[in-house]
Structure 1
Amino acid sequence: MTELHLWLRHEVRTTERRTPIVPSDARGLVENGVTLTVEESPQRIFPVEQYEAAGCRVVPAGSWISAPTDAVILGLKELPDEPAELRHRHIFFGHAYKRQPSAAALLGRFTAGKGALFDLEYLVNDTGRRLAAFGFWAGYLGAALAVLQHRGRLAAPLTPTDKDALDATLRPVAGDEEFTALVIGALGRSGRGARVALRTAGVEPTSWDLEETHDLDRPALLAHDVMVNAVLATTPVPPFLRDVDLDTPARRLRTLCDVTCDVGSPLNVLPVYDRTTDWEEPARRLREEPPLDLIAIDNLPSLLPKESSTDFSAALLPQLLDFEVGGAWGRCLDRFHQACRELGLEPGA
C-alpha cells in the first residue's frame, strides 16, 4: 500500500459528537504505517489527547483546508461552505447522489478543485452491502425517541447519553398505556436497531420489509400508533405515506419517525414533510386533529456517540488499511464519477 496520510477533521455541526475513527483504532492505523493527523475538536466524544497518545499528530480545527494535497480528509457529516474548490480526496457521508437539493453545489466544488468524494454510504462489498454503517444505532435511537414522544417523555433539547441511561427511560412505568408500533425496513441494520429499542420499551413491533411494501396495505399502516421508517431506498418506489393519508379520518397513527431522512430526494418514501427536525426541536406537529408528530433527525447515532463511534470505527478500520487497493474504494470512486456526470459535471479525480 502506498503510504497513506489520513486527516481526521473536526465536525462543523455542533451536535455531531461522533468520530469515524476512535483512538484505539487510530493506534492500529499508526502501527500499520498510516500517518494520522487529528484536528482538535471541542465536541468529539473522545478527547484529542487520546489520539495524541496513540501516535497521531494534533493540529487546530479546520486546518484540513491547507493540508498537503495527498492527504485524505476523513469525516462524517457536511463540510463547511468554504473553500469553494475542494482539492483533496474526502471520505464522509456526502448525501449528494440522490438528487438532493444541495447535491450539485457540493459535487461542483469537488470538480472545480479536482478533488474526489469517497462517500461512506457507497462503500460496499461486491454484493452491494455497506461495509461500515451507523444503521443499527440510527434505528435504535429513532425508535427510542418515537417511544418517548408517544409517551410524553421526550425532553428538548436532546443531549448525548449512554445506552444504559437511555434504556432506563425506555422501560415502561406505571400509567403508560399500551400502543402498537410498525417498523418498515425491519430486516436491515436500522430496522433491527428499531426493533431492539421497541422491545426494550415493552413493545413487540409489527415488522414489514420488501414483501410487505411491494403491495403496501396503507390502511394497516395507518392503524398503528407509532411508525418507524428504516427503508433506504435506492430506486424510486411508491410513497408509504401521502398527504391525503394523513387526513384520513380512520388514521390511528400518532407518532412517525423517519430514520432515513431522504427529504428533498425523489427517492423519499415519506413525502409528507419538507424539512428535518433537530436536537433543539426533535418533534414537529404535522397534523393537529387527530395529532401526528414527526421525528426526522439526520444524525441520530450522535446521541449515543461512544457506542456508535466504536462500532463504526471497528468496521471502517480494515477498509482504511486497504485504501487505494481498489475493490470497495474503487467502487466508491466510480460512483462519485457517475454522480458528477449525471449532473453534467466532469470529475477531475
Structure 2
Amino acid sequence: MTSIKIGIIREGKTPPDRRSPFSPQQCAQLQRQYPGLKFIVQPSEIRCYKNNEFESEGILIQEDLSAAEIIFGVKEVPIEKLLYNKHFFFFSHTHKFQEYNRPLLQAAVKKQIQLTDYECLTFEDGRRILGFGRFAGLIGAYLAMKAWGAKHQTFQLPLPQECSGLENMFHQLKDNVNFGQPIKIYITGRGRVAKGIREILSLLNIAEVDAKSFAEKTFEETVFTNLDTNAYYQHQEAQPFTTSALTKNPEQFRSTFTEVAQHADIIITGHFYDSKWPKLIEQAQRTAYQRLKVLADISCDIADPIPFTLRPSTLADPFYDVDPESLEEKPAFSAGSLTVMAVDNLPGALPKDASEDFGKSIATDIIPLLLKSDEARLIDKASICKDGKLNAPFQYLQGWLNK
C-alpha cells in the first residue's frame, strides 16, 4: 500500500470527553498490519490514555496534525480545529438538523472537508457499523440500579466512573444489588443500547416475561419486558405496522406505550425516536405513572417523547427527581417523586473499555475500507460533505444549511 498518515485529534468539546478512537496497542497493531500506515496522535491531558502510553508503542505524539490525510476523533471537533482539505471521522450530530451544530457543518463545507459521521456508517444491509451503544446501555442500566438502591436505601453502588473498569462495575452489581422486593423493569429498543441493558439484567439473573404478563400478573421475582417500536405504536385504523409507514405518516399512528409501561417500577430506554412521531407519553397520561420510581432515559430526548425527562444530567451528578403530576424538578431521591437519569454521554464513564471496544470495530470494519477497497462505497455514503458541498445522500440538509 502507499504511505498514509492518520491523525488522532485531541477531544475539545465541553464538558471534556476522555475517550479515544483507538488505544495505543491498536495503533501499534495497525501499523504492523499495514506497513505504509503511520499514526500521529495529538497530545492530550484528558484522554484516558497517557501520551507516553502511545510513545511506548512507537506512536508519534505531535501537536501538528497537518501531515495527516485522515483524522479521527470521537465527539464534535471545535470549528477552529477543523483543518482544510482533510478527511475527518467523528460523531458530528448534524444529519438530523441539529441546530446547535449547524455552524460546524457550515465550517466543514467551507473548509473542503470530507466529514464522515460514525453514526451514518452502515453495512449494506443497513446495520450500523460503529457505535458506543452497548456501553451506553451497560452504564445506563447500572445507573438505573444505583438510583433504585439510593431511592429505597436498600443498597449502594459507586458511580460507574469510580469503578476501575467494566469488570469491576459488573462485580459491584453482583455483590450489592438487592431490590428488597419483586419489581418490574420495562426496557425499550432492540439495538446496541438495548443489548447493553439486557446484559446488565442477565448479569443480575432477572427473568424476561412477555408484555401481557408484565401488565397483568403479579410475580414473586423481579422481571423485565423488552418492547420495540412496533409494540407501542399502533395504526389508527389497525393497519399493519411498519417503521417506514410511521415515519412517512406519523399522524396515522398513536402511542400505546402507557398500556404496559405504567405497570413498571423502573423504565430504561434504549429506543430510537423521531421527533415527528407521536409522543410516547402524552401530557394527559403522566398521572398514570404512580408506580414508576426510576426512569433511566438513555435515549435522552429532552421533554419530547417522555415528559419526565426535563433536562440532561451529568456523569458527576446523574440524578434528579420530578413530580410526575406537576413536572416540577426536585432534589434527587425526594419522597413521593420520580428519579430520572438522563446522562447524554454515558460511555464516557468507562472511557478505556469503551474506547477499546470502539477502536476494535474501526480497525476491523473501517480501516480496510480506507486502505484497501470500499467497493460498496460505505464511507462515501456516510460522508455528509466533501469537496466543498453536501454529499449526495445528504442533499436534504441544503436548505437548513443555508439559513
Asked if the contact 1:15/1:279 (under 8 Å) is kept, the reply is: no
What percentage of residue pairs aligned between the two structures are identical?
23
Cα RMSD over matched residues?
2.9
Alignment of 1:51-200 (within 5 A): 51-60=54-63, 63-64=64-65, 67-68=66-67, 71-83=69-81, 87-152=85-150, 153=156, 158-159=161-162, 161-171=164-174, 172-173=176-177, 176-185=180-189, 187-200=190-203
Asked if the contact 1:156/1:282 (under 8 Å) is kept, the reply is: no
Q: Which amino acid counterpart does residue 284 of structure 1 have in structure 2?
A: Y
Asked if the contact 2:5/2:69 (under 8 Å) is kept, the reply is: yes
Alignment of 1:338-349 (within 5 A): 338-339=393-394, 341-344=396-399
Larger radius of gyration: 2
Q: Equivalent of 1:277, from 306, 313, 322?
A: 313
Asked if the contact 1:263/1:273 (under 8 Å) is kept, the reply is: yes
TM-fit CA distance, 1:156: 6.4
CA distance in 1, matches of 2:84, 2:316: 31
TM-fit CA distance, 1:183: 0.9
Asked if the contact 2:138/2:200 (under 8 Å) is kept, the reply is: yes
Instruction: Show CA shifts across 1:266-318 (max 9, x none).
Output: xx643553531112221122326841122122221222222222221111103
**Does 2:23 match 1:22?**
yes
Q: Equivalent of 1:221, from 261, 268, 276?
A: 261
With 209-218 and 91-100 compared, the bigger mean Cα shift is at 209-218
CA distance in 1, matches of 2:162, 2:145: 17
Asked if the contact 1:286/1:292 (under 8 Å) is kept, the reply is: yes
Q: Which runs of 5+ in 2 are unaligned?
A: 151-155, 208-223, 235-255, 324-329
Q: Which amino acid counterpart does residue 211 of structure 1 have in structure 2?
A: N
Asked if the contact 2:4/2:69 (under 8 Å) is kept, the reply is: yes
Asked if the contact 1:158/1:282 (under 8 Å) is kept, the reply is: no
CA separation of 1:29/1:157 partners in 2, compared to 1, >3 Å: closer, same or farther?
Answer: closer
Residue 294 of structure 2: aligned partner: 255
CA distance in 1, matches of 2:355, 2:145: 24
**Does 2:356 match 1:310?**
yes
Residue 7 of structure 1: aligned partner: 7
CA separation of 1:242/1:203 partners in 2, compared to 1, >3 Å: closer, same or farther?
Answer: farther
Q: Which amino acid counterpart does residue 25 of structure 1 have in structure 2?
A: Q
Residue 49 of structure 1: aligned partner: 52
SS at match of 1:37: strand
TM-fit CA distance, 1:2: 5.2
Residue 322 of structure 1: aligned partner: 369
With 120-129 and 249-258 compared, the bigger mean Cα shift is at 249-258
Q: Which amino acid counterpart does residue 167 of structure 1 have in structure 2?
A: F
CA distance in 1, matches of 2:83, 2:42: 21
Q: Which amino acid counterpart does residue 54 of structure 2 have in structure 1?
A: Y
Higher relative contact order (CA 8 A, sep 6+): 1
Q: Which runs of 5+ in 1 are unaligned?
A: none
TM-fit CA distance, 1:181: 0.8
Residue 230 of structure 1: aligned partner: 270
CA separation of 1:83/1:49 partners in 2, compared to 1, >3 Å: closer, same or farther?
Answer: closer
How many correspondences in the alignment? 337
CA separation of 1:271/1:83 partners in 2, compared to 1, >3 Å: closer, same or farther?
Answer: farther
TM-fit CA distance, 1:250: 4.8
TM-fit CA distance, 1:78: 2.2
Q: Which amino acid counterpart does residue 17 of structure 1 have in structure 2?
A: R
**Does 2:345 match 1:294?**
no
CA separation of 1:284/1:127 partners in 2, compared to 1, >3 Å: closer, same or farther?
Answer: same
Instruction: Show CA shifts across 1:62-101 (max 9, x none).
Output: x44xx24x62221111223535886532101111111223
TM-score of the two chains, using structure 1 as the length reference: 0.85
